[in-house]
Structure formats: C-alpha cells, structure tokens
Structure 1
C-alpha cells in the first residue's frame, strides 16, 4: 500500500456526514416514531449531516445464524446492507426492553460486520425511569466489539410518554436540545476524522 497517498480533499472533508439513524423498536403501538421525529428535526438544522432513517419495523430480516445467508436472506439484506455500508456514522434510537435493547436490533447488528467498522455510533434512548440508558450500556459493548467509536454523550428521555404533547412536541425542550447538539457535534467531528483517516490508510491495513 502507498503510505504517501494524499489525504482527502478539503471539499471531501467538509462534505456532510452520511448518518444512518437506526430506529430499533418494531412493536405495535410503539413510541419510537415520536422520538425519531423529534431527533430528525434536530438533524435537519445541522448543516454537517445527511440522514437516512433505517426503520427496523420496515425490515423483515431472518434470524442471523450464519455469515453465509441463503438466497432469501440475501434478498432481504439487499434492502438494508448497502445503506449501512454507505453510512459514515450511526445514531441508534432505542427503547429499553427488560434492561436491554430490542432483539430486532441485535439481529440487524449480527447480520453485518465490515459495515460498522471504523465509524462513530451515538445513542438516543427512551423508556421509564432509566430513560433507556441500560439498553445503551449493553449496546456500547456490542458496538465496541464491531470496531466502532462510541460517542460519549447521549440523549435520553426518562418517562418518555409524559414528556411530549399530542403533536409530538417536547414540553420542555431546552435540556434535550442542548444534549442533541452536543451529540451531533461530537458525531460529526469523529465522523469526519475517521473519514479523513480512512482516505489516507484503509482501516485494518
């Protein structure tokens, strides 16, 4: 490999970061769309980001039991795998189920490997008294195994159902909006830094 390869151009470095937002819940009657709509309204005002919402409720992936999927699994994965591969960063929006995160999210994670590597991942969680933070702590360990860079700052909604009005607007948004800005600023910094680094030296080489 040519270690003297030129770094990415200033234009490429300044290009908006491609962020896949993973909406983890697929339960009927889920609260997830309220949280994702709120979060995407925050990303819409951030010039450094382009988002792609990956809603697990719209996927129908078979259980990941092998890294050699059959023809049916390959067809289903074709709808989502290229989107993960194209992403330069991830934000996971997750509830907390039984002190952890939803099974469909683990299934999506386990079907993929290189798609996650050397990219930053941030977390937005919601739930009862814990605000989904126990799910986030489990996810940090899983994504670390997949060679991601975890963003320290989170956005968490404790007793989430009481925080939003009937139109999905947060009743007291100052704190969560500030947390979202910090999360996104850190995500963009790491995303651009890793993008530039991989342009000079591919990850793992």
Structure 2
C-alpha cells in the first residue's frame, strides 16, 4: 500500500515560538511509520498577504495546492487566549474544497490546558469544512518540566496516527469511488 500523505501544519508564526520544534517532532514520529509520508507545512515559510486578497497569490495557491495533495492533516497549534493563532485561521480560510472529506488530528500546546481550548475551537472550524477530526491528540503543557519526547506523548501520537491513517485511507478510497458532495 502506498503511504498516505499527511500534512503536518505548524500553525504559529510568532517569533520565539515552540511550535516548529513540536511540529518537527510530530513529523519524526510519523516518519517511523510505513503507512504515512509526512510533509511539513510551516506557515512561517509562506509569504501570505496581510489581508485576504481578492485573488489568490502564488503563495496562497502553493499552500492550497499542498492541502489538496494531502490525504490528511496533523495541525500543530498553540493556544492563545483560549483559541488558536490568527495565522492558522487565515491559512485555513485560504482553502475550502481542498479540505473536504479528509481527516485531521491535533497536537496542541499551551499552559496548563495543553492547548485543548484551541483544539475545541478548531474542531468547530473543521466541521464546517467537512473535515473528519480524530478523537485522540497530543497535548503539551509548556509549564511542565519534562522533555517533549516522552513515552506518554509518543503513545498518544501513535494512537492519533493510527486513527488518522484509518480515516485517511477510508476517505481516500471513498473519494476515489465517488466525488464528495458538500
């Protein structure tokens, strides 16, 4: 079976962010699997316009093309004021049909809540985009004095990828048999 193309989307673009390190850790976990081919989409690497453009820019088309090419997603998100970063919302809104009938998992980080408030907000947004979100995710408490790569987090990430790959495979087969109707 051909590996599923899973886009690991790093949602924060703030200077001094930790999301890039967390996102690359998630990609390394995915690389150890035979059923997944991770592709890192770090939003800090895109030159998105400051305001939503009337027509898609080349960078917007590049991002939405990568969303279209993915079989599923892992969204790595910070929690800012009990929600997710504006940079992530902007990027999500650039695509629409490209998200449809694909699964998403979440790796979140924040203080005490481990970013779970951001994930709950994202579940609502992705439901509107016809994205199937998986239950299991990974949370990182930035106040905890522990390394990122713990046995508990690796197990959570593996469980998330198990669910994500199941849904990605099922939905990919379904989209091939019959176009998704939104």
Q: Same fold (TM over 0.5)?
A: yes
TM-score range normalised by the length of the shorter chain: over 0.9
- Looking at structure 1, the residues matched to 16 and 144 of structure 2 have their Cα atoms a distance apart, in angstroms, of 12
Of residues 151-160 and 50-59 in structure 1, the stretch that sits farther from structure 2 once superposed is: 151-160
Specify which of 134, 151, 170 is matched with residue 193 of structure 1. 170
Larger Rg: 1
Q: 1:161 to 1:55 in 2, by over 3 A?
A: farther
Q: Deviations over 1:86-142 (max 9, x none)?
A: 001011000100110000100011111011000001100011100000000000000
Per-residue deviation, 1:76: 2.2
Per-residue deviation, 1:198: 1.1
Consecutive unaligned residues of structure 2, counting only runs of 5 or more, are none
Q: 1:160 to 1:43 in 2, by over 3 A?
A: farther
Q: Which runs of 4+ in 1 moved over 6 A?
A: none
Consecutive unaligned residues of structure 1, counting only runs of 5 or more, are 1-13
Say whether 1:36 aligns with 2:23. yes
Q: What's the C-alpha RMSD, in Å, of the aligned pairs? A: 1.6
- Looking at structure 1, the residues matched to 99 and 120 of structure 2 have their Cα atoms a distance apart, in angstroms, of 18
**Equivalent position of 1:55 in the other structure:** 42
Corresponding residue pairs, total? 182
Say whether 1:46 aligns with 2:29. no
TM-score (norm 1): 0.84
Per-residue deviation, 1:63: 4.7
- Looking at structure 1, the residues matched to 167 and 174 of structure 2 have their Cα atoms a distance apart, in angstroms, of 10
- Looking at structure 2, the residues matched to 161 and 59 of structure 1 have their Cα atoms a distance apart, in angstroms, of 31
TM-score (norm 2): 0.94
**Equivalent position of 1:92 in the other structure:** 75
**Equivalent position of 2:66 in the other structure:** 83
Contact persistence 1:122–1:151 (CA under 8 A): yes
Per-residue deviation, 1:37: 2.3
